[in-house]
Amino acid sequence: MKIAMIGTGYVGLVSGVCFSDFGHEVVCVDKDPAKIEMLERGDVPIYEPGLHALMEKNVEAGRLSFTLDLEKAMDGAQAVFIAVGTPTRRGDGHADLSYVMAAAEEIARTATDYLVIVTKSTVPVGTNRQVKQVVRKANPSLDFDVASNPEFLREGAAIEDFMKPDRVVIGVHNDRAGEVMNDIYRPLYLRDFPIVTTDLESAEMIKYAANAFLATKITFINEIAALCERVGADVKQVSKGMGMDGRIGNKFLHAGPGYGGSCFPKDTKALARIGQDNAVPMQITEAVIQVNEEIKRRMVDKLLDMCGGSFNGKTVGVLGVTFKPNTDDMRDAPSLTVIPALVGGGAKVKVTDPQGRHEGEALLPGVIWVEDAYKAAQNADVLVIMTEWNEFRALDLKKIARKMATPRLADLRNIYSVRDAKRAGFEAYDSIGRAGFSRVDD
Ligand SMILES: NC(=O)c1ccc[n+]([C@@H]2O[C@H](COP(=O)([O-])OP(=O)(O)OC[C@H]3O[C@@H](n4cnc5c(N)ncnc54)[C@H](O)[C@@H]3O)[C@@H](O)[C@H]2O)c1
């Protein structure tokens, strides 16, 4: 089958590459000439493990190509996917649907034969019906259907998630569209991966409900972690004990500096807005949004304590800026709250990240970028672990401590322990939801 994919961001590019690996002919379109130029050269504009090799393989096989020209991409396509951004609309928390609707109009102007217009972007309930109206208005004679196919891939593990999904959700309003969608996903269906077919509205809702639930789980354990610190409990032990309960599960129970990324912040805000608009306030989700902001601010207070009450004149090393490891995505990363507070308070901030520098340079003015953790630690008063990249998991802590002006470690990902820090010669160690120590106070 021929498929056109509109948008070559994290979702569009991964989906396009994986669909071509299923054996479909895929043409990916983007309106950003720099991205298409890179892709045509064989380079990948984002950091995603495994993507480059899979892309290369399918380009060579003649199943995958890239273009700025939607008409060319849609020529003979039986399905066109919309995988453009749906960021938070400035001012009101709604999902900004302008990119989705612009893509729908472009499709309407270009299409000639029957096709299914599939929304892969995360969109509020009712959007697919809106897409249908927009297309019908722009091209009344076009024979088409719409389908909702929300994406659940995680950045950093996107290929694996796409190829071996927990489930694929397909929302359709008739069998004709359902058949095209089933053909697209047949390779997964044949390998017994579950395909959940629903109406359009339920498919749209599943995506928001799933993301809000995961954000709630993370925020719940982060709030428990704050209480653990006060009452002398250890959140790692608490998570383990909770997670072994089959009804709860151990995923998304790792306490940290608050959720970030391209999805949870904007999707929780959008769900809260949908609730308000429909007079069913999403009170739990609203609380989650508020608590997550407080958790990020608590990280700043933690660092302030470690710096003796003021950032002014202090040197702070920061390990990691991306919102999680194995991605270069900086959208709504907790580092964007913490680092500006350090810089604004007068600290000299040295930052390192295996993939985040390219995005981070524009977003974090006033910091000094260094090559690795040891350079970040050099003459620092405090070292902060913001993102749990593998290369920060097995640091030579003795070497780090020796390099620092005052060896103090703020481990916001609970990678190390008081024991590790004491052995390495640190004078202070703090983490999330566990007791720390400080020889400075002794
Ligand atoms: N990033 C994730 O992990 C993830 C996971 C699941 C779902 N989603 C959802 O998928 C959607 C896309 O997310 P993303 O992170 O891939 O976005 P992104 O911002 O990385 O990429 C969007 C791309 O679409 C292109 N684009 C916009 N309008 C276009 C048009 N009219 N024609 C051609 N190209 C156009 C942009 O140039 C950009 O390259 C969002 O709704 C998001 O919520 C994202």
- pLDDT in the model for residue 387: 98
The residue with tokens 């269906």 is 189
| Co-location of 281 and 265 in the same domain | yes
Q: Which pLDDT band holds residue 441 (cuts at 50, 70, 90)?
A: low
292-329 pLDDT, tens digit per residue, is 999 999 999 999 999 999 999 999 999 999 999 999 99
Output the CA torsion sign for 234, 293, 252, 385: negative
Task: Express each pLDDT in 189-225 by its tens digit.
Answer: 999 999 999 999 999 999 999 999 999 999 999 999 9
Q: Which atom belonging to ligand 1 lies closest to the Cα atom of 84?
A: 24
The rounded distance, in Å, linking the Cα atoms of 253 and 249 is: 8
**Per residue in 157-178, is it b (16+ CB within 10 Å) or e — as a string?**
ebbebbbebeebbbbbbeeebb
pLDDT value, residue 291: 98
Give the C-alpha separation, 364 to 301, whole Å. Answer: 19
Element (H, E) at 130: helix 127-138
- The answer to whether residue 434 sits within a structural domain is yes
- Is residue 135 included in any domain, yes or no? yes
What contacts 199, CB < 8 A, 6 or more positions away?
Answer: 171, 172, 173
User: Residues 6 or more apart from 289 whose CB is under 8 A from it?
Assistant: 265, 268, 269, 272
Q: What is the greatest pairwise CA distance in the chain?
A: 80
CB atoms within 10 A of CB 283: 10
**In the structure, what pLDDT confidence band is assigned to residue 439 with cuts at 50, 70 and 90?**
confident
Kindly indicate the confidence band of residue 228, based on its pLDDT and cuts at 50, 70 and 90.
very high
Query: Count of domains in the chain?
Result: 3
Mark whether 390 and 321 lie in a shared domain. yes
184 within a domain of the structure (yes/no): yes
Residues forming a β-bridge with 147? 118, 172
CATH of the domain at 353: 3.40.50.720
In 3D space, the residue among 325, 380, 382 whose CA is nearest the CA of residue 354 turns out to be 325
Ligand 1 mean position to 23 CA, how many Å? 23
Q: Is 228 a catalytic residue?
A: no
Check whether residue 53 and residue 166 sit in a common domain.
Answer: yes
| Contact predicate 130/101, CB 8 Å | yes
Residues 305 and 182 in one domain: no
Quote the CA–CA distance of 175 and 173 in Å, as a whole number: 7
Closest CA to 146 of 124, 108, 118: 118
Q: What percent of the chain has pLDDT over 90?
A: 98
- Backbone angles phi and psi of 238, in degrees to 5: -65, -45
pLDDT recorded at residue 3: 98
Helix axis angle for 283-306 and 264-277, nearest 10°, is 140
Place of tokens 């709630």: 216
* Virtual torsion, Cα 191, 193, 194, 196, nearest 10 deg: -100
Cα first-last separation, the chain: 70
pLDDT score for 440: 72
In tens, the pLDDT along 255-284 reads: 999 999 999 999 999 999 999 999 999 999
Mutate to test the pocket of ligand 1, among 39, 68, 84 (most ligand atoms within 8 A of CB): 84
Please identify, among 198, 230, 251, the residue that sits at the C-terminal boundary of a domain.
Answer: 198
Same-domain pairing of 24 and 83:
yes
Strands 115-119 and 437-438, how do they pair?
Answer: unpaired
What is residue 38's predicted lDDT score, i.e. its pLDDT?
A: 98
Please report whether residue 186 resides in a domain.
yes
Q: Is the domain of 57 the same as that of 116?
A: yes
At residue 368 the predicted structure's pLDDT band, cuts being 50, 70 and 90, is very high
Tell whether 24 is covered by a domain: yes
Is the pLDDT confidence value at 30 over 70? Answer: yes
C-alpha dihedral (283, 285, 287, 290), degrees to nearest 10: -140
Q: What is the pLDDT of residues 373-424, one digit of tens each?
A: 999 999 999 999 999 999 999 999 999 999 999 999 999 999 999 999 999 9
Position 203 in a domain: no
**Which residues have CB under 6 Å of ligand 1?**
6-12, 29-32, 35, 83-86, 99, 102-103, 106, 121-122, 151, 153, 155, 262-263
pLDDT of residue 104: 98
Report helix angle 283-306 to 200-231, nearest 10: 40
Enter the tokens of residue 137. 């208005």
Mean pLDDT, range 125-146, rounded to an integer: 98
* Predicted confidence (pLDDT) at residue 442 exceeds the cutoff of 70: no
Q: Choose one of 5, 11, 119, 268 to mutate for the ligand 1 pocket test, by most ligand atoms within 8 angstroms of C-beta.
A: 11
- Residues 342 and 434 placed together within one structural domain of the fold: yes
The first and second tokens of residue 267, run together, are 């999707």
**325, 402: one domain:** yes
168 and 26 in one domain? yes
**314 Cβ partners below 8 Å, 6+ apart?**
307, 346, 347, 348, 381, 382
Residue 393 lies in a domain: yes
What average pLDDT does range 77-88 have in this prediction? Answer: 97
Are the CB atoms for 414 and 433 separated by under 8 Å?
A: yes
**Do residues 397 and 264 both lie within one domain?**
no
> Pick from 288, 319, 337: which residue ends a domain?
288
Which tokens belong to 162?
């796409």
> Which domain-ending residue is among 150, 172, 198?
198
Distance of CA 98 from the midpoint of ligand 1 (Å) = 12
Kindly state whether residues 167 and 97 are assigned to the same domain: yes
Triad 240, 244, 248: Cα angle to 5°: 105
| Ligand 1: centre distance to CA 84 (Å) | 3
Enter the tokens of residue 357.
Answer: 């520098």
For residue 91, name the pLDDT band (cuts at 50, 70, 90): confident
Kindly report the CA angle at 416 between 415 and 419, in degrees rounded to 5? 160
* Residues 311/347, Cβ–Cβ less than 8 Å: yes
**Collapsed DSSP state (helix, strand, coil) of residue 345:** coil
User: In whole angstroms, what is the distance from residue 116 CA to residue 311 CA?
Assistant: 56
| Identity of the residue numbered 74 | M
Q: Which domain holds residue 427?
A: 294-438
Can you tell me the mean pLDDT for 71-94? 94
118 and 225 housed in the same domain: no
* Residue 8 alpha carbon to ligand 1 centre in Å: 7
Q: What is the CATH number of the domain that holds 283?
A: 1.10.1040.10
